[in-house]
Chains A and B, each alone.
Chain A
């Protein structure tokens, strides 16, 4: 089991994402990095950041940190409170509905991301595959 969020969880996620052939297929034209922001909430004292460099269906590198100075400026950010991330990873919240209901915020080109909703869904599904404790 991997504690979310943590360096160990991030590494496990990175490996599972790169092993996911469905993700690789649906994101085969995607070029763009994204930072997942886990905002402090009950159970998490400090904001945490997971930077993912995504390119043509693979994750080229990741950075996990609690210091925003240590991550590159990314094309997209997807942020939400720790409690909502728990629900997302446990498949209790749909990632797009999460934005529409204010549980998550997305920054970046919406037109681009809306053409890759399948890849986005598979990214979330992959997170659910990481054995997680909170």
Chain B
């Protein structure tokens, strides 16, 4: 017995008009300053019923911490919303998920947001997520990454109960993404799709979404970058990212994410970059165990990008995107990197992604990956 979990998905151009008929009236919108400056919050507000009362949380940091999330609890409880909306990239949406939990269950410890605890949510409100990048898949997943206060660890809170009620996949929310963000978030999405396909929890449902996600992202990303006015390409990448989110949410991620989370937490590197840097190495390491899956995925790349093996294709994909491939590309000093080696290995070892990798990896293998990118 197993499950396939998904929010209800509203997608395509003009899908934010879904808010016209919203039954809720007391709304909390969790977002950040960049989203407001880009005019995206206003686009949502324009669609809301005129008698809505709105509390806007507009200062979600790039890496929200446990203290930050807990600092919002009192304001949210006092406002008494019947809907919480996460609007932004992964940080805003993950923050909204955890805010949703602290509002519904102010009594629980955030570390109890695990699949093993019955949270019993949705007694007060519902949750809607609107991605403004095409990458994290958070709008479709039941995970939320929140850092420790010292940023030494990214906690992977996860529960099927924090999956959104609705995910709104509107290309208008990503039409003006800066190019570096479009690239790095797309690499994150690609990693979700590839790792979901090879996880030991992979299943027929998640496989379908992995395959389609790779096809949509790899087949449209370069058009979306060079011609962001091409809404079909932008929309395809955006949908591909949400499909990758559905895939990994239902089969989990593996080693590239374990290592990427650890590297990112230790050196403050954007998620897509820190995960992408390990992806070809992990595929090569897993090749014998996941050959069938990797061969199937390789065929989903356009012929002009495809190489003989998936890890070569992914290497080529990253190269064409000019993504970092070594720590020297990230301006990390070698001695600093060496000092943090043991801690990086330990954090990666604790990740569930390490457990669900198709090939066993212990401390020695994790250190090997970290040295391969030196």
Contact = CB atoms under 8 A, between A and B. Distances in A.
Interface of A: 22, 25-26, 94, 96-97, 99-101, 106, 109-111, 113-118, 120-121
Per CB-CB distance, the 7 closest pairs between chain A and chain B, nearest first, are A111-B111, A110-B114, A117-B355, A115-B350, A110-B116, A101-B1, A121-B355
Contacts of B296: none
Interface string B334-373: 0000000000000001101011000010110000000000
25 contacts: A25-B362, A25-B363, A26-B362, A26-B363, A94-B200, A96-B352, A97-B201, A100-B3, A100-B116, A110-B111, A110-B112, A110-B116, A111-B111, A113-B116, A114-B111, A114-B116, A114-B352, A117-B352, A117-B354, A117-B355, A118-B349, A118-B350, A118-B355, A118-B362, A120-B355
B116 A116 contact: no
A45 B308 CA distance: 57
Interface residues of B, number: 20
A121 B117 CA distance: 19
Contact of A94 (B201, B362, B363): B201
A114 B1 contact: no
A111 to B, nearest CB: 3
B109 A111 contact: yes
Nearest to B363: A25
B349 A26 contact: yes
A96 B112 contact: no
Contacts of B2: 97, 101
B28 to A, nearest CB: 26
A120 B350 CA distance: 11
Given A22-B362, A118-B350, A99 B201 contact: no
B115 interface: yes
Contacts of A117: 350, 352, 354-355
B115 A116 contact: no
B345 to A, nearest CB: 10
Nearest to B347: A115
B115 A100 contact: yes
Contacts of B112: 110-111
Contact of A116 (B350, B360, B363): B350
A58 to B, nearest CB: 17
Nearest to A107: B116
Interface string B74-116: 0000000000000000000000000000000000010110111
Contacts of A100: 3, 115-116
Contacts of A120: 355
Given A97-B201, A117-B352, 17 more contacts: A22-B360, A22-B362, A26-B362, A26-B363, A94-B200, A96-B116, A96-B352, A97-B2, A99-B115, A100-B3, A100-B116, A101-B2, A106-B116, A110-B111, A111-B111, A111-B112, A114-B114
